[in-house]
């Protein structure tokens, strides 16, 4: 993640894309026309876990669930942007 952040800050798109495509434990590249569908299973699972933690009043677990998944969007607006999610 650190190397990716550095490449992005430096405007090194080739390295950033190489790191994204290489993947790893914490990074997955989604090359799809329908990212919502590609992420549906993960989102639904996390939402169910989060709901259960909320029903139990378990704030620590809820925060851990929220912290377990991040989505990096290259745009702020549009169908692939942060505003969409």
Residues facing residue 81 across a β-bridge: 75
| CB-based contacts of 85, cutoff 8 Å, min separation 6 | 71, 73
Q: Would you kindly state where each structural domain of the chain is located, as residue ranges?
A: 1-31, 32-85
In tens, the pLDDT along 28-44 reads 787 778 877 878 888 89
In tens, the pLDDT along 58-82 reads 999 999 998 887 777 667 787 777 7
* Residues 27, 4, 76, 41, Cα dihedral to 10°: 0
> Would you say the pTM of this structure is higher than 0.85?
no
């Amino acid at each position: 993640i650190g190397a990716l952040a550095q490449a992005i800050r430096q405007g090194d798109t080739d390295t950033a894309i190489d790191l994204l495509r290489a993947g790893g434990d914490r990074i997955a590249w989604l090359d799809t026309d329908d990212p919502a569908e590609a992420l549906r299973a993960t989102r639904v699972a996390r939402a169910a876990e989060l709901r259960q933690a909320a029903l139990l009043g378990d704030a620590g677990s809820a925060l851990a669930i929220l912290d377990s998944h991040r989505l990096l969007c290259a745009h702020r607006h549009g169908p692939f942007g942060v505003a969409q999610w």
